[in-house]
């Protein structure tokens, strides 16, 4: 069969998908009864998983994993990297306990995996990546992981998937109410952390403030390249983080919200196994400011959001006299309108503007990248709310490059417990500022990465005294002009290949309640094949070989109970071997870790004392996620949080 490309491909798959969905719809339309109407009302009343309607309404056919509130509470004193590595079938590429951690969605590179804070992209403007080890779980109220491309809704660069973190709006109340909390944490390797949180709400005004600081020695034991026992050196971490939110209700329809998020991390970078010592350190300082206005009426919602993000990275290595300081800045603005014509038709139109630039203090120069877009999403709902089809499109200009990003996703409820879904999107990523202009090694002649993403799957959800949720997704993605850094003394990015990614993912959860005890069991797994299909390098031995640092298998299992105020969970993770060269000549072995989590809530009058404890790697396995970067053995973390209201 000839390969479909361009618009022919999307027209063919769209027609095929629509025909399949309507064939199901025609069959279902012949049978009706009053019981189905009751189920429809229940579906309409279900809780929204996000604050952003792009996820709630216009992504019915995409695979989305929502982290529940109990899990967020359990991981509240940890980083987003730990949460995702243990609870979501996405590979977190961690360079060590005190180092960078990036995301690998379905074999995508770190620059192809995006992170959004309340709908604003927050990856570093120069690197094009987000370090998820610097994202505190405690600051977030909602965490969703979106698999597969959704470039039409979220912008070019969203190739493999996206992490969406959100803050709920401060709640308003008829009378003035205050809530305060204080937390203290201690753990292995000299880990100490203290934080406070304060909220106030009244009829028209509300605010919340969250502050914490932490210090970690990270002096864990490991075995070096010669087989000798050593303790990690030059590995301290110190950080301070604060998030301030304030909201004002102008009237019943209009709310204005302001947010300010500041954080500073000082990290010593420990030696790799091939280094005798390390004097490297890095200071990361970020300020994120956001202002948004929302107006809601019966059928129409209008919003305007603006944001300014400033990242400062100061990297030093006194052994080779490196002292590099870079400032990156981002201005983001987006205006949109979401209108419901009737129960069958909804339309959202929005206009993102994203301007970013990097100031290299050491070299005294500046480079910019400007993005302007017009995007729309249309949702059709029919056949008694069983069929949802979303057509999405975005026209985007990045500097002098014009991009058209069409997409379509759909879902169909065959029964009250079985849903089918499918998604097709065009993907596109322009090179980052570092890839173009890094000195030395940047390549200003790089071409954008481009391709198509298709995925489909089903979800089973049964509730009959017990609850079973099972989903399975299969995907296919082909990216041309894949960018890879190559070199020796000086590394340079090149468009080297066409990469073909395909695989499957499954998420499963079972819950059973007997009296005051609830049992839960969960298994998540991913199978990923991401191989070089075509190479532009003569004699390249990467053809048909797995992309470096893409495990073929990874997954997690959870088993535990909730009894009254006690929550206990055992988590087990597995990651298969990762090749570290393009020709599969070298690899690092797979690993498994066991992690035990406990949470206990103690009422103190009308107040609450919460204890959380976690023991990671309880089997004390020796492993590495990235070559020559050992991870710690068994370690623990325990925290107390006392909250009181008045």
Tell me, rounded to whole angstroms, the distance of Cα 366 from its chain centroid.
29
Band (pLDDT 50/70/90 cuts) for residue 320 is confident
Quote the CA–CA distance of 62 and 59 in Å, as a whole number.
5
Quote the CA–CA distance of 421 and 456 in Å, as a whole number.
6
Spatial contact of 232 and 278, defined as CB atoms under 8 Å apart: no
Say if residue 512's pLDDT is above 90: yes
pLDDT at 360: 81
Q: Which helix (H) or strand (E) holds 349?
A: strand 345-360
Sign for the CA dihedral angle at 143, 595, 231, 189 comes to: positive
Q: 3-state secondary structure string, 107-132?
A: CCCHHHEEEEECCEECCCCCCCCCCH
Degrees, nearest 5: CA angle 44-45-46: 95
Quote the CA–CA distance of 240 and 23 in Å, as a whole number.
56
Residues 6+ positions from 6 with CB-CB distance below 8 Å: none
Half-sphere exposure of 76 (CA within 13 A, CB side): 27
pLDDT-wise least confident of 261-265, 288-292, 363-367, 589-593: 363-367
Neighbours of 551 (CB within 10 A): 24
Q: Which residues pair with 627 in a beta bridge?
A: none
pLDDT-wise least confident of 22-36, 197-211, 360-374, 395-409: 22-36
Spatial contact of 638 and 612, defined as CB atoms under 8 Å apart: yes
Could you please report the per-residue DSSP string of 214-272?
A: EEE----EEE-TTS-EEE--S--EEEEEEEEEEEEESSSSEEEEEEEEEEEEEEEEPPP
Band (pLDDT 50/70/90 cuts) for residue 143 is very high
At 540-565, the pLDDT tens digits run 889 999 999 999 999 999 999 999 99
Say if residue 5's pLDDT is above 80: no
The closest of 345, 353, 347 to 377, measured between CA atoms, is 347
Average pLDDT, the chain: 90
At 559-611, the pLDDT tens digits run 999 999 999 999 999 999 999 999 999 999 999 999 999 999 999 988 999 99
Quote the CA–CA distance of 35 and 30 in Å, as a whole number.
15
Band (pLDDT 50/70/90 cuts) for residue 47 is low
Quote the CA–CA distance of 63 and 47 in Å, as a whole number.
17
Neighbours of 255 (CB within 10 A): 21
Spatial contact of 437 and 407, defined as CB atoms under 8 Å apart: no
Spatial contact of 532 and 497, defined as CB atoms under 8 Å apart: yes
Neighbours of 174 (CB within 10 A): 8
Domain boundaries, the chain: 6-240+252-645
The percent of residues in the chain predicted with pLDDT above 90, rounded, is 80
What are the angstrom distances between the C-alpha of 285 and each of 115, 265, 504, 540? 18, 6, 38, 40
Tell me, rounded to whole angstroms, the distance of Cα 93 from its chain centroid.
13
Quote the CA–CA distance of 437 and 544 in Å, as a whole number.
31
Mean pLDDT of 474-489: 89
Half-sphere exposure of 633 (CA within 13 A, CB side): 13
Question: Greater confidence, 258 or 32?
Answer: 258
Neighbours of 646 (CB within 10 A): 9
Tokens of residue 272, six digits? 């790799």
Q: 3-state secondary structure string, 485-530?
A: EEECCCEEEEEEEEEEEEEEEEEEEEEEEECCEEEEEEEEEEEEEE
Say if residue 6's pLDDT is above 80: no
pTM above 0.95, yes or no: no
At 200-218, the pLDDT tens digits run 999 999 999 999 999 999 9
Q: For the purposes of burial, counting CB atoms within 10 Å of the CB of 287, is it exposed (0-12), middle (13-18) or buried (19 or more)?
A: middle
Residues 6+ positions from 470 with CB-CB distance below 8 Å: 459, 460, 461, 506, 507, 508, 509
Tokens of residue 476, six digits? 């296919």
Is the domain spanning 6-240+252-645 CATH 2.40.170.20? The answer is yes
The closest of 597, 601, 547, 544 to 572, measured between CA atoms, is 597
- Terminal Cα-to-Cα distance of the chain (whole angstroms): 70
Neighbours of 306 (CB within 10 A): 16
3 state SS of 14: helix
Residue with tokens 């969905």: 21
Quote the CA–CA distance of 310 and 287 in Å, as a whole number.
5
Spatial contact of 634 and 616, defined as CB atoms under 8 Å apart: yes
At 216-241, the pLDDT tens digits run 999 999 998 888 999 999 999 999 99
């Amino acid at each position: 069969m000839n390969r479909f490309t361009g618009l022919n491909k999307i027209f063919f798959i769209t027609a095929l998908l629509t025909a399949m969905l309507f064939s199901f719809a025609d069959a279902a339309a012949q049978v009706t009864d009053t019981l189905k109407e009751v189920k429809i009302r229940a579906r309409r009343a279900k809780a929204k998983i996000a604050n952003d309607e792009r996820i709630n309404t216009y992504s019915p056919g995409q695979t989305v994993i929502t982290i529940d509130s109990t899990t967020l509470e359990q991981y509240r004193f940890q980083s987003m990297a730990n949460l995702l590595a243990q609870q979501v079938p996405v590979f977190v590429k961690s360079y060590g306990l005190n180092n960078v951690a990036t995301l690998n969605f379905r074999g995508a590179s770190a620059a192809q995996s995006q992170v959004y804070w309340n709908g604003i992209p927050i990856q570093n403007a120069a690197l094009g990546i987000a370090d998820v080890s610097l994202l505190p779980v405690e600051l977030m109220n909602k965490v969703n992981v979106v698999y597969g491309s959704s470039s039409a809704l979220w912008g070019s660069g969203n190739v493999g998937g996206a992490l969406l973190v959100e803050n709920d709006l401060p709640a308003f109340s008829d009378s003035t109410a205050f809530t305060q909390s204080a937390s203290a944490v201690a753990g292995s390797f000299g880990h100490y952390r203290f934080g406070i949180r304060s909220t106030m709400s009244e009829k028209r005004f509300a605010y919340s403030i969250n502050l914490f600081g932490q210090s970690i020695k990270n002096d864990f034991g490991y075995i070096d390249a010669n087989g000798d026992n050593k303790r990690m050196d030059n590995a301290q971490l110190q950080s301070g983080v604060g998030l301030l939110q304030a909201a004002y209700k102008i009237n019943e329809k209009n709310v204005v919200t302001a947010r300010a998020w500041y954080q500073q991390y000082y990290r010593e970078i420990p030696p790799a196994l091939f280094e005798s010592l390390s004097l490297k350190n890095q200071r990361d300082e970020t300020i994120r400011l956001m202002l948004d206005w929302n107006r809601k009426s019966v059928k129409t919602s209008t919003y305007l959001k603006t944001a300014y993000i400033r990242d400062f990275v100061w990297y030093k290595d006194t052994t080779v006299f490196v002292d590099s300081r870079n400032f990156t800045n981002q201005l983001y603005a987006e205006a949109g309108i979401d209108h419901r014509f009737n129960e069958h038709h909804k339309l959202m139109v929005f206009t993102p503007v994203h301007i970013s630039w990097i100031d290299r203090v050491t070299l005294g120069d500046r480079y910019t990248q400007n993005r302007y877009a017009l995007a729309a999403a249309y949702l059709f709902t029919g056949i008694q709310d069983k069929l949802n089809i979303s057509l999405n499109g975005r026209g985007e200009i990045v500097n002098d490059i014009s991009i058209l990003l069409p997409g379509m996703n759909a879902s169909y409820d065959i029964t009250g417990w079985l849903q089918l879904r499918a998604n097709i999107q065009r993907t596109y990523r322009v090179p980052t500022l570092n890839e173009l202009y890094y000195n030395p090694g940047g390549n200003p002649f790089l071409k954008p990465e481009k391709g198509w993403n298709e995925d489909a799957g089903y979800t089973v959800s049964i509730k009959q005294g017990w609850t079973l949720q099972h989903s399975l997704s299969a995907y296919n993605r082909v990216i041309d002009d894949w960018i890879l850094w190559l070199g020796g003394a000086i590394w340079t990015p090149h468009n080297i290949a066409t990469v073909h990614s395909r695989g499957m993912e499954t998420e499963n959860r079972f819950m059973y309640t007997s009296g005051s005890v609830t049992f839960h069991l969960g298994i998540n797994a991913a199978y990923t094949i991401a191989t070089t299909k075509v190479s532009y390098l003569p004699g390249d031995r990467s053809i048909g070989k797995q992309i470096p640092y893409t495990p073929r298998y990874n997954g997690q299992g959870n088993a535990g109970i909730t009894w009254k105020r006690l929550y206990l969970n055992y988590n087990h993770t597995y990651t298969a071997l990762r090749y570290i060269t393009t020709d599969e000549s070298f690899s690092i072995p797979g690993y498994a870790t066991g992690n035990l989590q406990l949470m206990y809530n103690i009422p103190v009058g009308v107040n609450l004392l919460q204890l959380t404890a976690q023991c990671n790697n309880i089997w004390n396995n020796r492993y590495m996620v990235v070559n020559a970067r050992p991870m710690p053995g068994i370690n623990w973390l325990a925290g107390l949080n006392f909250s009181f209201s008045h």
